[in-house]
Structure 1
Amino acid sequence: MNTILNCLVQQHDWRILPFALLVSVFSLLIALCLFDRARNVARRSRRVYLIAVPLVAGLGVWSTHFIAMKAYDIGVPARYDVSETAASLAVVIVAFYVAMHLALADVGRMGRLVAALTCGLGVAAMHFLGMSGLRLSGAILSWNAPLVVVAVIGGMLLVSGVALLPWRVGAKRVIVATILAALGVCWLHFVAMSAVVITPTPGVILPVAAAAETTLTLWIGASVGLLAIIAAFLTGMVWWSRHSALGQLREAIEAMPDGLGFYDADDRLAIWNRRYTEINPEVTAALKVGVTFREVLMAGINAGLYPAALGRESAWIAERMANRRRPSGAMEQQIGGRWLRVQDRKTAEGGTVTVCSDISDMKRDAQALAEARDAADAANRAKSQFLANMSHEIRTPLNGVIGVAQALARTDLNEQQHEMLELIHSSSRTLQTLLSDILDLARVESGRLELGDEPFDLTRAVEEAGQLYAAAARDKGLQFFVEVAPEARIWMHGDAVRLKQILTNLVSNAVKFTASGFVSLTVDAGPQGLRFVVQDTGIGFDAETRDRLFSRFEQADGDITRRFGGSGLGLAISRELAAMMGGGLGCESEPGGGAAFILTLPLRPAEAPAPTPTLVASEDSVFVETTRRLRILVADDHPTNRRVVELILDQAAVDLVSVEDGAEAVEACRAAPFDLVLMDMQMPVMDGLTATREIRLHEIAMGMPRTPVVMLTANALPEHIAAGTEAGADRHLAKPFSVEALLAMVQELTTDAPQAAERAA
């Protein structure tokens, strides 16, 4: 340690050393600042920094070394070899260049440590290579090896400390890194200089070379000058870059579609754009640098901008300031006739960025959309109500046509009369099918169509669907067959009624459009599910019309409606039903080559229920086998419907009582007991649902047994069935109904019921 202190105090001119230290600190500070900036720019913008940082650092350290050498008193004449001196400068610049690349590679702390050690080794190499270029007159230079080791290791440790600093941009880090790097350079230089051993050698005499000394001085001066020029240039470039960036940022802020105001940590306005004043024109006069946010709010209150603050100004300001201190997303604020969305965001230094967006148009659009939605909902409800009413109004006369025709069929008719009656039946079935299709389509569109989910026998459902049109196929001379593969003869979960609706639709079309050949319905099951194929040898269609078949009110050819009839709704509804069941419906065909419609459904097996005895009876068996007469009440406001029921039941052992509204039905049930009540749902004075509730209340109050009530109504939608059940009805039979369905329901509900007369007793 004494050797080092003696070297510093006795062998160095302290008038020159401060300048060397200043050059070292200045160059390293500039280099580290530029390096931090290089870390924060895009890779393509780093090229100028990759050149400037090694050049500034290298020139600074090299100049520090030789300025310090100028302050060193060797005691003998000396000069420097130009080539080795220049090589020392190149070595340190290359070392800093390599180290910078390593540091910017973002390889972690170990990579930064390697970069720091590279800098230290470069400085050491520069020092010893520069010293090797030193030529002494009358002496030779040698080294104290232990001190050399101490110099190198100490310098490396100090420089390595730079890599251990937190890897973040900041003035404190740059200052600490500069101090550590400068200490490392100074330690390496001055400890290494204390390791120099000068041995007099009279025989080694150098020629006088004053020019060499002057050259070195010029080199040092040029280096320091170049260093100053580079530093000034880079400082100017940084200032210009920042100034340009601030200008661009200012332009960007001005171009924002939203109003922006920046308030400092004391909540005083510092920056705002033009849009901020346009959104708040009433407080424009109050907007100036240094005004507080509270003062801006007060200006708005004085201008009457905030309807929510009327009468509670202080409380409103307190709430707004509290929200500002704890920003939790955007808030909407009404200002006059406008709506603003205001967002407050805190900065790292405690400031607040307030962004205001005019959402008046959005609010108006939202209100218009809500009104349109409400109008659409109202229209949808009106449409549903219209369809329900039309269903009721159409089903009522249709029930009269079908009921009277069925009653007429049970009388003695000649052949011509039978033919005319069959035409009535055919036309009625067509009207009923069309009505059902329209209602189904409306329910699918409104999302109100619900599928059942009950176990059913798949084989039976398929065979029933196919056999409905077996007779029509035979009448046309067609071969008709239904085949269910053994693996498909199962019970499954689903809606058997809707499945049969799809299959009967497909089979009906196949029979309708086939003049000769065959129609087949086949079913098989596999890992992918169930596959139903309805194939025919009919007229077929081309690829262009395939998609149109599944569109509503579309058929393959406009002439088909005139030739074969139909509304074009069946296939559209079938595809919708298939999709609701989780499957799909497609087809394959060619003109004149028939068609194949393929329905695929997921396989959902179910356990077959235990067998139960089935009662098979003829239409009139319920009335033939009983010796007593049944009392049945018919409540319907339409005389045709009452007459249809009378015609169907007039040959049976039934005493019918007919009333025109629900109130009369309730009075009749209070006056005398009945075995069965057939109740319409829509009637004047009192509707069927209310009448049913009144009948149930009367039975409970009087302790009477429950009288079966059937909703015999044209209201056939699921919600109508649910409403009837909730009111207390036992069954629901939709108009138009068949003779068989009415007689079967009467049999079912009166077989085990005690006679009305017995209940009255």
Structure 2
Amino acid sequence: MRTILYCMTMQHDWRLVVLAGLVCVGGLATTLNLLIRATLKRERRAATVHGAGAAATAALAIWATHFMAMTGYDAGPAVTYDLGLTLASLVIIFVAAGLAVALILCVRSLAGRLLAGAVGFCGVAAMHFTGMAGLNVGSQIVWDPGLVAVALGTGLAFGMSAALVLHRWGRKAGAAAVGLVALSICSLHFLAMSAMSLSPMTVGVQQADALSQSALVVTVAGAVAFLILAATIAGLMTYWSRSSALNQIREAIEAMPDGLGFYDADDRLVLWNSRYAEVNPELASNLKVGLTFDDILRIGIKKNLYTEALGRPDEWVAERMAARREASNSLEQQIGDNRWLRVQDRRTAAGGVVTVVNDITDLKRDALALAEARDSAESANKAKSLFLANMSHEIRTPLNGVIGVAQALAATDLSPDQRQMLDLIQSSGHTLQTLLSDILDLARVESGRLELAHETFDLGKVISESAQLYAASAEAKGLQFFVEIAPEAQVWVEGDAVRLRQILTNLVSNAVKFTETGFISLTAGTGPERDGRSTLRFTIEDTGIGFDAACRERLFGRFEQADGGITRKFGGSGLGLAICRQLAEMMGGELDCESEPGGGSAFILTVPLVAVAAPVAEAGNDEGPGLGDVVPTLRVLLADDHPTNRKVVELVLAQAPVELTSVENGAEAIDAYRQGGFDLVLMDMQMPVMDGLTATREIRACEQSQGLERTPVVMLTANAMPEHIAAGIAAGADRHLAKPFNAADLLELVRQVGMRGPMALAA
């Protein structure tokens, strides 16, 4: 340690040592600046130029540091330098610096930085000892191996530490890296110089091509001048780059479509763009540097800009400032002239606030218009639903009279001509009923109010029943009719039996309608798996008129059929297939078709149906005797305000042992019920004085208060929408029978009550 201190304090001129240190730090700082700029350049040529500048600057700085310190070294006799070895040391440091910079730029990882640090230090060490080898002092130079090892180890440690720090780009990391590299160079120089001693026994020989001390000083001065020039150029480039970047940022801020204001840590306005003043025209004349945000709010309050602050200015300002102190704040603010601003505050790392303001008046106006349009659409949808419900009720009521009277008339003796006319009435009534159901189904599907049931049913039975409905029609036209159900379709499944039957009957009905000769077939079997679920495929084929590809594209549209001629020849609304496809999609399946003109058609329905175990049959759950075997006479109470409907029920129930009592509204129904003795109540829903729902609730309340046995109540009404059915069940009804009803259905209700008692219809 004494040797090291003696070398630094006694054998070196401290003024030149300090100057060498300043040259080293300044040159390395310039090198780091150029190196950072090289890493930021996207063009390879620009990066190479900056990298080469960094390497040259580093090499000259290190070489100049070493030989400037050497000029301050007092070796005793006159000192000269071997020209070849001195130049060789300069070449060595240039090569080493170039390799180190190349590694930093090409291998951007910690390993690359460490390797660059090792290569750079090895170059510095080689330069140092090569330069020392060229030192001519008239004596023999002797090295202390121990101190040499310490010099190399210490310098390498500082160099590798600089590489680790340099891996984290940043201002502080860069300054630390420069300091560590300077320590690496200085420690190597002074420790190595301390390891050197001169032997006076050997006399040196002056070489002709030696470099004198004064010549070396001039050379080093030139290198330092170059470093100063490089540092100046790098500084000017940095200043110009930052100035250009700031100008670009200012231009970008000024061109922003949003208003932007920047406030410092004390919430004082620092800068703003023109748009910030435009969206705050009332405050534009007051905007100035140093104005606090609190002052801006109070200026706005004085000008009655903030409607929310009326009557509570201080409290409102406190709330606004509290929200502004959050790291991120966004609010919509109404200005006094019916303008709306969206204000967003974002806090910076230094504690300042960036405020972005947008004029959203148009957006608010559009949102209000959309809300009004939505409300109008919802109102129209409600009106549409109410219209459909009323239309359903008003059409079903007279239609019930037509179909009911026709069914009652069919049970009497008629002549062949009368029977033919009656068939026409029944057929027309059935067509009207189907059309009404299609329209209502389509409306429910469009509004999303149609829900599928989840019940267990016998799939084979549903298929057979759907097909047999039109077997007689096919036979009457001379068509062959086939039904093939694969064993895997003869199972119980979970799904909506009513909607599946609706699809199948519609497809079979169309096949019968559009086929004059040949055959019709319905086949059921397994289909392809979908999403890991098994499916069932139903195929309805016919040898009818068929259709072309153009018709196929629009066949499943609403009110569409093959062509206008079909409508005139075969009739129909064109709603059936549209509803069938939508029902299939609601089930998670699809409905498609294949056809060619004159070559028949094939409609393919594929739906996922979950197979379940067949329910266990209950003992004694047989159908019982027929209606004619019902011995007791049932007392039935009918409440309906329409005389035609009362007459239809009277004609239908005339075929059964029934004692019928008819009333015109719910109030009369309650009075009649309180007299007691009724086995069944048929209740209309829509009646004057008191509606059927209220009357049903009164009947249930009367039963509960008097401890009477529950009397079956059936809602016999033209209100057939799902919400009507749900309302009837909620009021206490047991069943819902929609008008126009089938006479057989009503007689079946009477039969169930007569054979099984009051609980037969329990919901």
Same fold (TM over 0.5): yes
Q: How far does residue 673 in structure 1 lie from its aligned partner after superposition?
A: 3.4
Q: How far does residue 33 in structure 1 lie from its aligned partner after superposition?
A: 3.8
Residue number in structure 2 paired with 1:90: 91
Residue number in structure 2 paired with 1:537: 543
Tell me whether 463-472 or 151-160 shows the greater mean CA deviation. 151-160
**How big is each residue's C-alpha offset from its partner over 1:538-583, in whole Å with a ceiling of 9 and x where there is no partner?**
2222223222111111122222111221111111111111111111
Tell me whether 248-257 or 631-640 shows the greater mean CA deviation. 631-640
Within the alignment, does 1:574 sit opposite 2:575 as a pair? no
Cα contact 2:79–2:212 (8 A) shared by 1: no
CA–CA distance in structure 2, aligned partners of residues 234 and 726 of structure 1: 87
CA–CA distance in structure 2, aligned partners of residues 416 and 632 of structure 1: 35
CA–CA distance in structure 1, aligned partners of residues 575 and 754 of structure 2: 40
The letter for the 2-side match of 1:303 is K
Cα contact 1:137–1:206 (8 A) shared by 2: no
Residue number in structure 2 paired with 1:445: 446
Q: How far does residue 209 in structure 1 lie from its aligned partner after superposition?
A: 6.0
CA–CA distance in structure 2, aligned partners of residues 651 and 456 of structure 1: 32
Q: How far does residue 119 in structure 1 lie from its aligned partner after superposition?
A: 2.0
CA–CA distance in structure 2, aligned partners of residues 382 and 547 of structure 1: 33
**How big is each residue's C-alpha offset from its partner over 1:357-397, in whole Å with a ceiling of 9 and x where there is no partner?**
22222222222111111111111111111111111111111
CA–CA distance in structure 2, aligned partners of residues 396 and 252 of structure 1: 73
Residue number in structure 2 paired with 1:758: none
* Equivalent residue runs for 1:149-168 within 5 Å: 149-165=149-165, 167-168=167-168
Tell me whether 98-107 or 112-121 shows the greater mean CA deviation. 98-107
Q: How far does residue 591 in structure 1 lie from its aligned partner after superposition?
A: 2.1
**How big is each residue's C-alpha offset from its partner over 1:8-46, in whole Å with a ceiling of 9 and x where there is no partner?**
344333443332222111111222344455556657564
* Equivalent residue runs for 1:577-656 within 5 Å: 577-612=583-618, 613=620, 615-616=622-623, 621-622=626-627, 624-656=628-660
The letter for the 1-side match of 2:177 is A
The letter for the 1-side match of 2:444 is R
* Equivalent residue runs for 1:310-709 within 5 Å: 310-336=310-336, 337-525=338-526, 527=529, 528-612=534-618, 613=620, 615-616=622-623, 621-622=626-627, 624-709=628-713
Cα contact 1:79–1:209 (8 A) shared by 2: no
CA–CA distance in structure 2, aligned partners of residues 476 and 215 of structure 1: 126
Residue number in structure 2 paired with 1:283: 283
Number of equivalenced pairs: 751
Q: 1:652 to 1:456 in 2, by over 3 A?
A: closer
Q: How far does residue 206 in structure 1 lie from its aligned partner after superposition?
A: 3.4
Q: How far does residue 138 in structure 1 lie from its aligned partner after superposition?
A: 4.8
Residue number in structure 1 paired with 2:126: 125
Q: How far does residue 50 in structure 1 lie from its aligned partner after superposition?
A: 1.8
CA–CA distance in structure 2, aligned partners of residues 627 and 66 of structure 1: 133
**Aligned with 2:13: secondary structure?**
coil
Q: How far does residue 447 in structure 1 lie from its aligned partner after superposition?
A: 0.4
Residue number in structure 2 paired with 1:736: 740
CA–CA distance in structure 1, aligned partners of residues 41 and 344 of structure 2: 30
CA–CA distance in structure 1, aligned partners of residues 434 and 24 of structure 2: 100
CA–CA distance in structure 2, aligned partners of residues 345 and 167 of structure 1: 31
CA–CA distance in structure 2, aligned partners of residues 411 and 209 of structure 1: 145
Q: How far does residue 98 in structure 1 lie from its aligned partner after superposition?
A: 2.9
Cα contact 1:532–1:600 (8 A) shared by 2: yes
Please, which runs of 5 or more residues in structure 2 have no aligned partner?
A: 759-763
The letter for the 1-side match of 2:535 is G
Q: How far does residue 204 in structure 1 lie from its aligned partner after superposition?
A: 5.7
CA–CA distance in structure 1, aligned partners of residues 581 and 163 of structure 2: 71
The letter for the 1-side match of 2:72 is A
**How big is each residue's C-alpha offset from its partner over 1:83-135, in whole Å with a ceiling of 9 and x where there is no partner?**
5433422332332333334445676545433332222112111212233344x
Cα contact 1:391–1:435 (8 A) shared by 2: yes
**Aligned with 1:737: secondary structure?**
coil
Q: Among the aligned pairs, what percent are the same residue? A: 59
CA–CA distance in structure 1, aligned partners of residues 637 and 207 of structure 2: 146
CA–CA distance in structure 1, aligned partners of residues 630 and 472 of structure 2: 35
CA–CA distance in structure 2, aligned partners of residues 138 and 357 of structure 1: 82
Tell me whether 318-327 or 29-38 shows the greater mean CA deviation. 29-38
CA–CA distance in structure 1, aligned partners of residues 14 and 662 of structure 2: 132
Q: 1:85 to 1:537 in 2, by over 3 A?
A: farther
Q: How far does residue 512 in structure 1 lie from its aligned partner after superposition?
A: 1.4
CA–CA distance in structure 1, aligned partners of residues 566 and 727 of structure 2: 41
**How big is each residue's C-alpha offset from its partner over 1:138-164, in whole Å with a ceiling of 9 and x where there is no partner?**
555453333322222221122222234
CA–CA distance in structure 2, aligned partners of residues 259 and 691 of structure 1: 67
Cα contact 1:138–1:201 (8 A) shared by 2: no
* Equivalent residue runs for 1:211-360 within 5 Å: 216-336=216-336, 337-360=338-361
CA–CA distance in structure 2, aligned partners of residues 203 and 350 of structure 1: 71
CA–CA distance in structure 1, aligned partners of residues 614 and 447 of structure 2: 34
CA–CA distance in structure 2, aligned partners of residues 358 and 160 of structure 1: 56
* TM-score of the two chains, using structure 1 as the length reference: 0.93
**How big is each residue's C-alpha offset from its partner over 1:277-328, in whole Å with a ceiling of 9 and x where there is no partner?**
1122222233211121211111111111111112221111111111111244
CA–CA distance in structure 1, aligned partners of residues 479 and 38 of structure 2: 88
**How big is each residue's C-alpha offset from its partner over 1:698-730, in whole Å with a ceiling of 9 and x where there is no partner?**
333343333222111111111111111111112
Q: How far does residue 418 in structure 1 lie from its aligned partner after superposition?
A: 1.1
CA–CA distance in structure 1, aligned partners of residues 219 and 364 of structure 2: 74
CA–CA distance in structure 2, aligned partners of residues 725 and 569 of structure 1: 30
CA–CA distance in structure 1, aligned partners of residues 632 and 176 of structure 2: 115
**Aligned with 2:484: secondary structure?**
strand
CA–CA distance in structure 1, aligned partners of residues 148 and 485 of structure 2: 101
Q: 1:704 to 1:425 in 2, by over 3 A?
A: same
CA–CA distance in structure 1, aligned partners of residues 267 and 41 of structure 2: 32
Residue number in structure 1 paired with 2:761: none
* TM-score of the two chains, using structure 2 as the length reference: 0.93
Q: 1:575 to 1:82 in 2, by over 3 A?
A: farther
CA–CA distance in structure 1, aligned partners of residues 203 and 141 of structure 2: 14
Tell me whether 206-215 or 580-589 shows the greater mean CA deviation. 206-215
**How big is each residue's C-alpha offset from its partner over 1:256-291, in whole Å with a ceiling of 9 and x where there is no partner?**
122111111111111111111112222223321112
CA–CA distance in structure 2, aligned partners of residues 653 and 176 of structure 1: 110
**Aligned with 1:550: secondary structure?**
coil
Q: 1:540 to 1:83 in 2, by over 3 A?
A: farther
CA–CA distance in structure 2, aligned partners of residues 554 and 82 of structure 1: 104
Q: How far does residue 518 in structure 1 lie from its aligned partner after superposition?
A: 1.2
Cα contact 2:31–2:55 (8 A) shared by 1: yes
Q: 1:385 to 1:416 in 2, by over 3 A?
A: same
CA–CA distance in structure 2, aligned partners of residues 314 and 47 of structure 1: 62
Q: 1:90 to 1:568 in 2, by over 3 A?
A: farther
* Equivalent residue runs for 1:4-83 within 5 Å: 4-36=4-36, 38=38, 46-83=47-84
Tell me whether 496-505 or 68-77 shows the greater mean CA deviation. 68-77
* Equivalent residue runs for 1:175-214 within 5 Å: 175-199=175-199, 205-206=205-206
CA–CA distance in structure 2, aligned partners of residues 91 and 207 of structure 1: 23
CA–CA distance in structure 2, aligned partners of residues 565 and 82 of structure 1: 115
CA–CA distance in structure 2, aligned partners of residues 435 and 482 of structure 1: 29
Q: 1:327 to 1:23 in 2, by over 3 A?
A: closer
**Aligned with 1:16: secondary structure?**
helix
CA–CA distance in structure 1, aligned partners of residues 31 and 236 of structure 2: 14
